[in-house]
Structures are given as structure tokens and as C-alpha cells.
């Protein structure tokens, strides 16, 4: 069993209907490092501000409204996925994360 990663969704790129790149920021980190993963959201529509974490072959998505929790999505590939449209030499991603680092 692998180690889980994830946090607040800060960026989403829909590469194909069944192949999304989702970047997250762990609110417990003291810096602005993010971690991304590819997933197949199926009929679900994760959005920036929602929560997502993943482990092994699955992503677990919780909408920001909290009406559902840990909706199972299929993970594609490994944690730390590079941005799909930024060349490898330019992978220094910059994202706007909440100034309030409490995750709220």
C-alpha cells in the first residue's frame, strides 16, 4: 500500500474527458509546493477549491461544499505528474494558493 498525497485543488487541466491533470496544495505545508496527479473523474466534476487526495490506484474527491466526501475516482499514473502543456524544462509551476494557510 502506498503513501497518500493531496490537498486543496489549485489547478485543473482537462486533457481529455477521461484524463484530467489535477494539482493540489497540502494546507499543512509551510511553502507553496504542490503535487499533481492524473485521474479519470468519470461523471464527477472536481473544481478548484475542492479537496482531493490519492493512494495506490484511486483518488478521493470531496467537494468544497462538504455535501459528499471521498468520492472514488480512478487514478492514472503516479503522484507528482508534470503539467501536461508546460515543457519539462519549464516545470516550475506557480499557483495562487490561499493566503490563509488554515485551508479554510
pLDDT for res 13: 95
The Cα–Cα gap between 32 and 98 comes to 10
Q: What is the pLDDT of residue 89?
A: 65
The model's pTM is 0.80
Q: Which residue has the cell 474527458?
A: 17
Q: How many CB atoms lie within 10 A of CB 11?
A: 16
Return the pLDDT at 97: 54
SS3 88: helix
Say what the pLDDT of residue 80 is. Answer: 87
Residues paired with residue 12 on neighbouring β-strands, in sequence order: 22
CB 70: neighbour CB atoms within 10 A? Answer: 13
Q: What pLDDT score was predicted for residue 8?
A: 93
Determine the longest span between alpha carbons in the chain, in angstroms. Answer: 40
The total of other beta-carbon atoms located within 10 Å of residue 102's CB is: 6
Query: According to the model, what pLDDT value does residue 1 have?
Result: 41
CB 41, CB 89: distance < 8 Å: no
Q: For residues 44 and 100, give the distance between their C-alpha atoms in angstroms, rounded to a whole number.
A: 28
pLDDT tens digit at each of 104 positions of the chain? 445 688 999 999 999 999 999 999 987 777 777 889 999 999 999 999 999 999 989 999 999 998 999 999 999 999 889 888 887 666 665 555 554 444 44
Give the model's pLDDT for residue 92.
Answer: 60
Amino acid at each position: 500500500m502506498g503513501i497518500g498525497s493531496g490537498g486543496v485543488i489549485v489547478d485543473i487541466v482537462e486533457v481529455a474527458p477521461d484524463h484530467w491533470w489535477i494539482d493540489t496544495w497540502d494546507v499543512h505545508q509551510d511553502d507553496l509546493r504542490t503535487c499533481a496527479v492524473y485521474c479519470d473523474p468519470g461523471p464527477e466534476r472536481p473544481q478548484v477549491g475542492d479537496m482531493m487526495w490519492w493512494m495506490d490506484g484511486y483518488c478521493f474527491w470531496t467537494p468544497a461544499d462538504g455535501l459528499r466526501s471521498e468520492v472514488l475516482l480512478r487514478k492514472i499514473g503516479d503522484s507528482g505528474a508534470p503539467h501536461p502543456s508546460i515543457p519539462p524544462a519549464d516545470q516550475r509551476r506557480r499557483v495562487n494558493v490561499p493566503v490563509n494557510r488554515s485551508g479554510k
